[in-house]
Amino acid sequence: MSAGGENGMAGSTAIVAASASKYPELSGVRDGLLNQRLAELNRKGESISVMVVGDCGLGKSTLLSNLFAKRTSYEHKMEPTKRGIRDSVETLEIEGVPFKVRLIDTPGYGDYPNLNKHFKSITKYLDQEMVEMYKREKSPTVLSAFSWVIEGIDVLLYFISPHRLKQVDIDLLKKLSGKVTIIPVLAKADTMTPKECQDFKRAVMDAIDRESIKIFHEPFAVISSENSHDSTTSRSSGRTYPWGTAESENEEFSDLPALRRCLVYDGLTGLHSEKVKIYEEYRKKQLRGLRPLRRMLRLAVRTAIQVGVVALIFPYAKEAFVEWRDNEEEERNTKQNDRYRRSRWNS
């Protein structure tokens, strides 16, 4: 731990001690609040929604299973082609905490002759998630509906082929940036030496910085494996070769455990916060788009009211005008007759 971290912890400890001495009647508040939060966590649980995007054959579906040590059963939710975007929601019991996991698997862009169509299918899916969150927010039960948390995508794992970052990857990442929280994943780390892996990570980060692409964390180089750990044979999970096994859970070879920690242990709250920020930007755009429409509606209503009032009072106004005109003409004729009679009398 760094000196700064130690100083920070010492400072927070001093604050707690000072607070306890300053307010002795409130001693135990911290433990009480933590117990309440823990009880709420055990009751409501937690959730995460993970989407994987990238070229075909990079182990996207396998990694989703590896992350939570559970094979997923997908259902078709959206079908831009024969192989549609697959969506799965499962609830795990982790140390007594209900943990709802939503996994969204997308087909590799190598399966699409028309890349623009594939890009649009993914961005359309993300936009629809924002629409659903917007609808949920307007619901009268939004505060009590915990399902709102699972809506939207917490993180998008973008898979990059080993050794080479393609221009198509940069183009798609630029389209996704700002729409979802992104973490780059370097697939098949076992096909690179440690030095090649570090050099490739730097090259990917340089390209991301150059293109101003927003990401949540630097790239993870992972090994995905369909072979799970077998305690009876002591066989480790990983990719098996004639010379041995590249273990997916061994951090000497794979960042898979570090990626899992980032998603669940260390970064879950941050991912939720980033999702809310992205949603708030979407919400601002929606509300800004409604303002001109509201002004037009107010103008239309005002005009309609004015026209209605005129139409309502016009018959009575016309009748009053005719009566006033007749009275004026009669009075004018009377005055003319009086002048004529006086002139005749004087003559």
- pLDDT tens track for 236-257: 576 666 666 777 888 888 999 9
Exposed e or buried b for every residue in 199-217, given b needs 16+ CB within 10 A?
Answer: ebbeebeebbeeeebebbb
Geometric angle at alpha carbon 25, from 23 and 29, rounded to 5°: 80
The model's pLDDT over 254-308, given as tens digits with 9 standing for 90+, comes to: 999 999 999 998 999 999 999 989 999 988 888 887 666 666 777 777 777 776 6
With a CB cutoff of 8 Å and minimum separation 6, the contacts of 300 are none
HSE-CB for 144 with a 13 A CA cutoff: 2
Burial of residue 176, with CB atoms counted within 10 A of its CB: 0-12 exposed, 13-18 middle, 19 or more buried: buried
Average confidence (pLDDT) over 94-98: 85
Q: How many CB atoms lie within 10 A of CB 163?
A: 14
Q: How many CB atoms lie within 10 A of CB 305?
A: 10
Q: What secondary structure letter does DSSP report for 114? A: -
Q: Which of 227, 222, 156, 163 is nearest to 187 (CA)?
A: 222
Identify which of 72-81, 228-237, 243-252 has the greatest average pLDDT. Answer: 243-252
Quote the mean pLDDT of the chain: 79
Identify the residue with better confidence: 198 or 28.
Answer: 198
CATH of domain 29-266: 3.40.50.300
Question: Is a pLDDT exceeding 60 seen at residue 82?
Answer: no
The model's pLDDT over 123-178, given as tens digits with 9 standing for 90+, comes to: 999 999 998 888 877 776 655 544 545 678 999 999 999 988 999 999 999 999 99
Token pair, residue 238, equals 């990983």
The pLDDT of residue 206 is 96
Contact between 247 and 236 under an 8 Å Cβ cutoff? The reply is yes
Average confidence (pLDDT) over 339-345: 71
Helical residues (DSSP H) of the chain, grouped into ranges: 3-22, 29-44, 60-67, 115-137, 167-176, 194-210, 256-260, 268-346
- Overall pTM surpassing 0.75 (yes/no): no
Contact between 189 and 255 under an 8 Å Cβ cutoff? The reply is yes
Question: Is a pLDDT exceeding 60 seen at residue 311?
Answer: yes
The pLDDT of residue 181 is 95
The pLDDT of residue 3 is 46
The pLDDT of residue 330 is 77
Average confidence (pLDDT) over 108-118: 77
Residue owning tokens 């899992």: 260
Please report which confidence band the pLDDT of residue 231 belongs to, taking 50, 70 and 90 as the band edges. Answer: very low
Contact between 87 and 75 under an 8 Å Cβ cutoff? The reply is yes
Contact between 50 and 154 under an 8 Å Cβ cutoff? The reply is yes
Q: Is 274 helix (H, G, I), strand (E, B) or coil?
A: helix
The pLDDT of residue 284 is 87
Please report which confidence band the pLDDT of residue 85 belongs to, taking 50, 70 and 90 as the band edges. Answer: confident
